[in-house]
A = this chain, B = another copy of it.
Amino acid sequence: MEKKKISKSVLKRLPGYHAYLKSIQEAESPYISATALAAALGMGEVQVRKDLAMVSDGGRPKIGYLRESLIEDIEQFLGYDNTTDAVLIGAGKLGQALLCYRGFEEYGLNILAGFDVNPAISRTENGKPILPMDQLEFFCRSHKVLMGIITVPEQHAQSVCDLMVKSGIKAIWSFAPTHLDVPDNVMVHNENMANSLAVLSMHLQAQMRDKK
């Protein structure tokens, strides 16, 4: 397993393999072939093999990959083993949902606290603190937080984003449907619901048209 440069497209497929491999823990054989994986996930088998080659140090011809070690390889590669601390700004409905979502731990994400201009509550149901905004920078600096999640309304997204950058955050996961300007060394990933919707609506429109 070399540290070759990995493309975004491959990166985005890895969690899918991981989830599937975890879901078949009870399987009879401890091995799984790229062929089988591809069939289960509805993908091309060559693509699966190439993707796995990026993270694994090899399967065995005729047999396949050792499932357990494949899982470990992906986890190590994606950094699921060492957790990333994050803060979240915007403790509205969506923000609270994310703060309470337990699944993130599995992916090595640990949201330490939520922030809000005007916290309605001081803790989430699962005990995570919700703090006033003015404590953000001190909190991030002292906990060395590098990841921030934005769940504020569109109008406030850019100023919240600026605040995060000022607080030393290097990776921003935004749920606000708007473009964010950041310095070069900061990465923004837009979980833009509008984009997803566009693809789905288009499919529906095309289907309706074909029906006629």
Contact = CB atoms under 8 A, between A and B. Distances in A.
A200 to B, nearest CB: 4
A29 interface: no
A212 interface: no
A96 interface: yes
Contact of A199 (B11, B104, B205, B207): B11
Contact of A181 (B42, B92, B192): B42
A197 B11 contact: no
B11 A202 contact: yes
Nearest to A11: B198
Nearest to A187: B203
A109 interface: yes
A150 interface: no
A78 B200 contact: no
Interface string A80-96: 00001000000011101
Interface of A: 6, 8, 11-16, 18-20, 23, 40-42, 78-79, 84, 92-94, 96-98, 100-101, 103-104, 107-109, 146-147, 154, 170-171, 173, 177-179, 181, 185, 187, 189, 191-205, 207
Main secondary structure of the interface of A (DSSP, over half): helix
Contact of A93 (B97, B147, B200): B97
How many monomers of this chain does the complex have? Answer: 2
13 contacts: A12-B198, A14-B198, A15-B195, A16-B192, A19-B154, A20-B179, A79-B205, A93-B96, A103-B154, A104-B193, A107-B193, A170-B207, A185-B207
A37 to B, nearest CB: 10
